Amino acid sequence: MSTEAVNQSQFVTLNGSPAPVLSRLSYVGDEPFAVNIAFRTERGRWVEWTFARDLLVQGLSEPSGLGDVRVRPDLANDDDLLILEIESPDGYALVEMEREDVERFLDAASEVVPIGAESEHFDVDAFIDEITNV
């Protein structure tokens, strides 16, 4: 299995706040279907979400996602922004990200595992072992 990874830090706007929040997008070749986004809440503490890489890819051009994570272009206000909505029982967050940053991140992640080739890099047996040995 590949252990290659891509990490990209950027400042994002959270819930329309005037102060930007440090975020980190991550992609690991051993988990080819997923991306992670983490938000720094205080020194040394991060809140992290994992969701399908396909949501980011599709969200560049049209709204994607029906559940807790949704991604869409911000066509109403700014073509250069991508909107990420995250919802949980604990709350809701609307994150504005620079489209160019997300495109650069997805390009780098595609060098680790090309889009559409995720299943070729996914170890089903290891996943079954992981979930049955809890």
Whether pLDDT at 2 is above 50: no
Please state, in angstroms and rounded to a whole number, the distance separating the CA atoms of residues 47 and 23: 9
Q: What is the pLDDT of residue 1?
A: 41
Which tens digits make up the pLDDT trace of 28-85? 988 898 999 998 887 888 889 999 999 999 999 999 998 899 999 987 777 889 999 9
Which residue is associated with the tokens 């290891």?
126
Q: pLDDT tens digits for 20-43? A: 888 999 999 888 989 999 988 878
Average of per-residue pLDDT values in the chain: 85
Confidence class for position 117, pLDDT limits 50, 70, 90: low
Residue 62: the pLDDT is 94
Q: How many angstroms separate the Cα of 19 from the Cα of each of 13, 14, 25?
A: 7, 8, 19
Looking at the whole model, is its pTM more than 0.75? yes
Structure-model confidence comparison of residues 2 and 108, the more confident one: 108
